Structure 1
Amino acid sequence: MRFCTLLTGSLAAASAVGARSGELVADSSGPSEEIARLRAPQIFNAVHNAMRQWGSSLHHNGMSFFLATVPEGVLFHHGNDSPLSPTEPEWLAYEIEHAEGFARGRWSGPGGGPGNGPGSGPGRRSRAILEAVDGDDDEVHGYLHVYRTTRTMKYIYVDGMGAGKTSMGTLDSQDRILRGKKPDDEEQAPWIRDQGDKEPVPKPPSGGGPRDERQRATDLCELAQEWGLDGIIRMEAGFEIIQCDFSDLEQVQALQRPDDNRPGPGHRGFGGLEQLRGLAERYQGIGSSRTAIDYSSMDLPRLSSAEQDGLAGIKAYVAKIIPERKDQLSRTVDWQDVTDMIVARYADRLKFMAEGVHTLEVMASEVNFLTNVFIDNRDREDKADKAVERCTYFYLHSVSPVTEPDVLIKAALETTTQRICKVLFQVRQLVVDDPTPDRESLDESVSAVKALMEYLNWVRFKRCPPCAINEVCLIPMWPFGTVDQYNSPRCSNGTVFDGEENYWGRGPGGRPGGGPPRVGDRHKPWSLSGSEL
């Protein structure tokens, strides 16, 4: 899978280190390798998690924009209450299960998904839809559409849980950068503000959807048209596309679905086991080469807090680089492949060293295995710093940067692997090279590896035990999931966890069930409007 990454725009706005509180301050001096190294683990994870449900759910506040390509002949799905193709921007789902949740009749489904728009109620049904219904039948039924791409389609991919309608930062990159909104714009809307546990949450204007999703789609499509793109790719509980013009697609079929209230088996609601199976299939990738991302145009992670002028600079950079990249067929570097190799080599072994090793002998064996390959035993004077250098560049020898974003991504990955290698050789010094290692040596080694894991923040460190055949490993994916499932993913058969605190809070940005989530581990969210990276 290739991703065209518009990564450098955010670095352009974060290219100066502020004097206050050590934070980055918006600046227009251009992309910076220094900032790429400073934000190395965030950049590494943005590349590693791109178009992957698991990583994008745990690191749900997106940081980057990517230019994405969908080839001819790919099937997408859409659920609504009409057999007719939409005539305005609407949502497409990559998976059947995702769209089926919106193939309803007289039901106002979850807003902003691959179906009947955001929270569209009966009042928004068009005259054409009503005329398509038999005169003797006063019901409006749900339809499941299938569309096929008839040419190569170009989209901008917003990473993280970009379709999650929350106040946690999931919409920041779209609203504050692409749409140019200010935090005050949201605070003025009563349906956005937290009303407390006792007050009812006011409803947004009719047809607007949760957190003004309909207007967001309109604004983003205007921008996409200006940039010569076909829409926007985002993720909630499933990947979706805001398709700006359905005339660019071929309608393969539009079949009427069973009524929602039909009795009997096979009519479970949103979030049931079969939908969760579909989501779990995309935990590690969208599959079947359905979307190609060119990492050589990536717009990198941005600052912890930003001036509005700086955010406008990011948007200006994105607007500049898209025309330069979207029609090019030049070679790109698959940086996600590189991150996959690094994570596969180290993740499980680091976790074992941090949590499962209790003797010096086992720790020495593990670190020997990971470091011996970088030591030249012919040279008795071979220094540790030479071995660390070999270790640092081991997975980077096969790649040659093509674009400026490539150079910055490589700097971030180099910084990440250098940190890994330095810690490993530090542990080696403690438990292998030291002639008299003791319990303190082991404790110091474990602490060093735990600190490294905290720095890396890899989603691979958080996994489920093996699940039964009628269960899937479940993490919060908007709009469902609990705080406990975020902290400790566990197997589920799709049943509701009554009484548990909803991860996404209450109100339009989350189902009732508590206030902001309490995140108890290293996978902390990041937001343009907050201070946590």
Structure 2
Amino acid sequence: MSPFPLLFLVVIPALCKATQIPFSSTTISRFYFGGYGDLESERWDLDVEPSMNATENLIFETISSLLQQWPNTRYRNGHTIVPAHILPGTLLYHGRSDPNLPTGPEWTATDPEHSTVFCRTTDDKGCWHITLVATRLLNVLYFDGSSAAKMPYGSMDTQDIIAWGLVNSTRYFAEQERLAALCTWGKPLGIDGFVRMEMDFEVMLCDFTAGLEVESMLNLEIVDSDPSPPIKHRINQDLARLYYDINSFGARVIRRDIEVIRAGGHHNTFPGETRIQLDLSRLISFYDTELVPSLVEPRLKTKSRLAHRLERISSEDIKAVMHRLEDTYSSPAATSGIDWFTLLRVIKDRYADRLELIRDILNETTTSRFTDDLRARNIHVQLTVMMQPYLLYSMNSTSHSPSPFNSSTSWAKPAFELCSTAHTRYISSSLVLSSALTPSEILILRAVEGTTKEICRTVTNMWVRGVEAGLHQDEKSDEDEPPRPQVSTARLFDSWRVEVERLMSWLDWSIWLKCRPRCAIGEICYLPTWPFFRWSTGSPPGFPGRGHRGPPPHGFAFGGKEQEDADWFDPQPTCHRIIQPLDY
């Protein structure tokens, strides 16, 4: 893959050491158009699609999904590492069988529904539940994806690289060793713990006495009849058996399992788990093709994003990642102060609902509700709303309405360019902002620019086809019954359908993954998550072979072999009851 073109043309000595992006001493580039070819003539060509190597869409979606349960359940194999903080006053929870504070690295949960799963004992004296409070800013490192899902298929790749310097798919249950290695690595950098996600979020603490105080240590009643051994250390081989048998002890255990899933669901969408404060100015993305070029070819050979992983990363790229990550701790740079999360959210909010509505109108099968002419006008209204801030008077769009289908679109290039750069032009054109960007912020900027460019290219093309069909004149008409489109609506719909489906597939925003129709009262929309998968034979994915097949949570089981096998590889949302009766 060819290197990214220049993003900035300003000498910034402080950044030149840390980033692989070249600089020169002239003026700032007005726009980054990576993934579309390097020719100036292709920059605003409405027919040029992103390169197969482009990762701007992947970086955009992974960053905008950080600390959100739903998208990180869908795509378990994380590709992002982010330094983060836990603020003073934040509560963390830890369940165990004795009243002793852990003396070494151990696990805590952000929600008590999660920690009480591990509040267990073999006697009748109850279990112990510890609530900790942060007394200072805790420095933590966040691994995205379902990074606590103990499976050999990629969910633990990023932390294995940090812990052991390589991907080791045979040690996915070596939790004690993994955490010890992470804490040993992180201690010189001042890292207090690590944040991961399974059915809810967890914080792996290296020292329960560093920056933390015990707020309470309560001797709780055991609310289930689980006869399993006490879990003094959550990180051992007994965890496999715990998850195998967790649903075989009666209705109260079933209730507990469902409530953990519900607690995690509170963080399904933006803003996600807000008790963890991410520093995006220091993030590392394994979709960064300059930092990690060795993963470009393996991704091209992978048919599905679900199978993206770090297994074939080169040792040179691992060294580059570790150097960049450690440098962010040892020599933290000043940042631009840009609120990247808000910028990403603004873009999603503006386009997600309208693109989905257009797709739904195009897929409408009940013809009695809409005539084809009305459907066409409704779609074009949505396209016009998205384009309106960029339709210059000088474009004289009405002169192109109607016109021959598939005629030249060059007259719409000004709108395409304005749309593409609307949310980032002020950053690239400002010497103050652009000179303060960290390498991570430059990566985010590229992702935003590449993503918005493809959105605007597609929407502009679709809008132009509507103009050609005479629909722009319809919108300006005062008549109750505007004139019919000047081309076949079937032809227009086919063109629009191809474009919107291709764009939505390329963006792959998790906001579009939902239960259809909506779930009823007493139900939740559930996305299969570790360890509650269905499997057709042998051991479930991610467990040592035992020749045993335990039931999934009651009320969460259905379908045959094909559905069961797809359940863990390609999770799809379904409605499940959370109140009695669980089956009906």
| TM-score normalised to structure 2 length | 0.66
Matched, 1:417 2:452: yes
Aligned to 2:347: 342
Matched, 1:88 2:51: no
More contact order relative to length (CA 8 Å, sep ≥ 6): 1
Aligned to 2:258: 273
Q: 1:472 aligns with which of 488, 501, 524?
A: 524
Deviation at 1:181, TM superposition (A): 2.7
Report the Cα distance in structure 2 between the residues aligned to 1:88 and 1:421, rounded to whole angstroms.
52
For residues 288 and 300 of structure 1, do their structure 2 counterparts lie closer, same or farther at Cα, with a shift above 3 Å needed?
A: closer
Matches within 5 A, 1:159-198: 159-183=144-168, 186-187=169-170
Aligned to 1:442: 493
Matches within 5 A, 1:497-516: 497-498=556-557, 500=559, 514=565
Matched, 1:315 2:322: yes
Report the Cα distance in structure 2 between the residues aligned to 1:235 and 1:77, rounded to whole angstroms.
15
Deviation at 1:514, TM superposition (A): 4.9
Q: Is the contact made by 1:67 and 1:298 (CA closer than 8 Å) also made in structure 2? A: yes
Q: 1:97 aligns with which of 113, 123, 134?
A: 113
Deviation at 1:459, TM superposition (A): 0.3
Deviation at 1:316, TM superposition (A): 2.1
Q: 2:507 aligns with which of 449, 456, 463?
A: 456
Cα offsets for 1:189-216 (capped at 9, x unmatched) = xxx7xxxxxxxxxxxxxxxxx6211111
Instruction: Point out where structure 2 has 5 or more consecutive residues left out of the alignment.
Output: 5-17, 23-31, 37-52, 227-248, 288-294, 300-311, 365-371, 398-409, 428-432, 471-485, 537-551, 574-584
For residues 168 and 320 of structure 1, do their structure 2 counterparts lie closer, same or farther at Cα, with a shift above 3 Å needed?
A: same
For residues 262 and 479 of structure 1, do their structure 2 counterparts lie closer, same or farther at Cα, with a shift above 3 Å needed?
A: closer
Report the Cα distance in structure 2 between the residues aligned to 1:82 and 1:353, rounded to whole angstroms.
57
Report the Cα distance in structure 1 between the residues aligned to 2:2 and 2:184, rounded to whole angstroms.
29
Cα offsets for 1:252-297 (capped at 9, x unmatched) = 1111222354599983347633323212211125668422111111
Cα offsets for 1:32-52 (capped at 9, x unmatched) = 885899210111012111111
Cα offsets for 1:291-317 (capped at 9, x unmatched) = 211111111233234223322321222
Greater mean deviation of Cα atoms: 462-471 or 404-413: 462-471
Matches within 5 A, 1:511-530: 514=565, 517-519=568-570
Report the Cα distance in structure 2 between the residues aligned to 1:57 and 1:87, rounded to whole angstroms.
32
Q: 2:83 aligns with which of 44, 64, 67?
A: 67
Matched, 1:246 2:208: yes
Structure 2 counterpart of 1:255, which letter? L
Aligned to 1:384: 412
Matched, 1:405 2:395: no
Matched, 1:152 2:203: no
Deviation at 1:73, TM superposition (A): 0.7
Cα offsets for 1:58-81 (capped at 9, x unmatched) = 122110110101111111111111
Task: For residue 331 of structure 2, give the secondary structure of its aligned residue in structure 1.
Answer: helix
Structure 2 counterpart of 1:440, which letter? R
Structure 2 counterpart of 1:257, which letter? L
Aligned-residue RMSD, C-alpha: 3.4
Report the Cα distance in structure 2 between the residues aligned to 1:180 and 1:457, rounded to whole angstroms.
31
For residues 299 and 55 of structure 1, do their structure 2 counterparts lie closer, same or farther at Cα, with a shift above 3 Å needed?
A: same
For residues 237 and 31 of structure 1, do their structure 2 counterparts lie closer, same or farther at Cα, with a shift above 3 Å needed?
A: farther
Report the Cα distance in structure 2 between the residues aligned to 1:292 and 1:315, rounded to whole angstroms.
22
Q: How many pairs are equivalent?
A: 427
Q: Is the contact made by 1:66 and 1:293 (CA closer than 8 Å) also made in structure 2? A: yes
Deviation at 1:499, TM superposition (A): 5.0
Identity percentage of aligned residues: 24
Greater mean deviation of Cα atoms: 68-77 or 461-470: 461-470
For residues 29 and 417 of structure 1, do their structure 2 counterparts lie closer, same or farther at Cα, with a shift above 3 Å needed?
A: closer
Q: Is the contact made by 2:126 and 2:222 (CA closer than 8 Å) also made in structure 1? A: yes
Task: For residue 388 of structure 1, give the secondary structure of its aligned residue in structure 2.
Answer: helix
Deviation at 1:242, TM superposition (A): 0.7
Deviation at 1:474, TM superposition (A): 0.9
Q: Is the contact made by 2:96 and 2:120 (CA closer than 8 Å) also made in structure 1? A: yes
Report the Cα distance in structure 1 between the residues aligned to 2:318 and 2:560, rounded to whole angstroms.
34
Deviation at 1:466, TM superposition (A): 3.4
Cα offsets for 1:212-252 (capped at 9, x unmatched) = 11111111111111321101111111111110000121011
For residues 518 and 88 of structure 1, do their structure 2 counterparts lie closer, same or farther at Cα, with a shift above 3 Å needed?
A: closer
For residues 286 and 361 of structure 1, do their structure 2 counterparts lie closer, same or farther at Cα, with a shift above 3 Å needed?
A: closer
Cα offsets for 1:333-388 (capped at 9, x unmatched) = 22121111111111122122223225322222221222122102255389411111
Q: Is the contact made by 2:162 and 2:182 (CA closer than 8 Å) also made in structure 1? A: no
Aligned to 1:427: 462
Q: Is the contact made by 1:297 and 1:403 (CA closer than 8 Å) also made in structure 2? A: yes
For residues 140 and 244 of structure 1, do their structure 2 counterparts lie closer, same or farther at Cα, with a shift above 3 Å needed?
A: farther
| TM-score normalised to structure 1 length | 0.72
